Amino acid sequence: MTENVDLSLLSYEENIEKAISFFSSELSVIRVGRANPKILDKVVVDYYGTLTPINQMANISVPEARMMLISVWDMSQVKAVSKAIEAANLGVNPSDDGRVIRLVFPALTEERRKEVVKEVNKLTENAKVSCRNCRRDVLDEFKKMKKNNELTEDELASLEKEVQKSLDAAIEKIDKISSAKEKEVMEI
């Protein structure tokens, strides 16, 4: 088989891995009733004219399962960080004493848990669709190669099986990650 085939397969595998890692990072941001510093990853503060993530301007610690402490290095920015957390609409209200910001996470209600599971399922389906799109793209490339007589019918069939096997493994991995997150959400 040609070098183009190898490059296409490599690109396909990379795209699938990117889709899975993006899916994992999206799930890590979902709040499950316990304090998780990752939920602050997307919260940015206007820090002297520059939008800065909180984790680059403060220490974030979890002293208890449902509490997070944010110690801002620049004391003049405590109010700004507190406002940014409120504006991010994370479902927690920050309380600050001028030195540290406390986030207390309430326990999730059964109804809220079910909503979170639906959100997880949507993200799961989006990840699977993304992987299927990668498969479609690489198979289209192979069909063009076949049309240009760079591949034989047998080589194309063998490549289609290989691509499908890789997709099945990726979807299985996505399902494992998703069911672990669902289990974590439904735990009381």
84: CATH: 3.30.1360.40
| Same domain, yes or no: 75 and 127 | no
Q: pLDDT per residue over 157-173, tens digit each? A: 999 999 999 999 999 99
Between the CA of residue 4 and those of 15, 50, 142, what are the distances in Å? Answer: 16, 44, 9
Give how many domains the chain has, as a whole number.
2
Looking at residue 164, its pLDDT comes to: 93
Q: When comparing pLDDT for 122 and 110, which is higher?
A: 122
Q: Are 178 and 121 in contact (CB under 8 A)?
A: yes
| Same domain, yes or no: 63 and 132 | no
Give the end of a domain, one of 53, 86, 104: 104
Q: pLDDT per residue over 4-33, tens digit each? A: 888 888 898 999 999 999 998 888 777 666
| Same domain, yes or no: 58 and 147 | no
| Same domain, yes or no: 114 and 145 | yes
- Mean pLDDT over residues 111-133, rounded? 89
* High-pLDDT (> 90) share of the chain, %: 27
Indicate if the pLDDT at residue 188 is higher than 70. Answer: no
| Same domain, yes or no: 75 and 88 | yes
| Same domain, yes or no: 51 and 100 | yes
Give the end of a domain, one of 79, 104, 129: 104
Looking at residue 33, its pLDDT comes to: 66
139: CATH: 1.10.132.20
Give the whole-angstrom CA distance, residue 14 versus residue 25. 16
Looking at residue 31, its pLDDT comes to: 65
| Same domain, yes or no: 41 and 96 | yes
Give the end of a domain, one of 54, 78, 104: 104
Q: pLDDT per residue over 50-62, tens digit each? A: 888 888 888 888 8
Radius of gyration of the chain from its Cα atoms, rounded to whole angstroms: 22
- Mean pLDDT over residues 78-88, rounded? 85
| Same domain, yes or no: 86 and 124 | no
Domain region containing 53 = 37-104
Q: Are 16 and 170 in contact (CB under 8 A)?
A: yes
**pLDDT band at residue 2 under the 50/70/90 scheme:** confident
| Same domain, yes or no: 177 and 113 | yes
pTM (2 d.p.): 0.71
| Same domain, yes or no: 22 and 115 | yes
Sequence-separated (6 or more) residues with CB below 8 Å from residue 24: 177
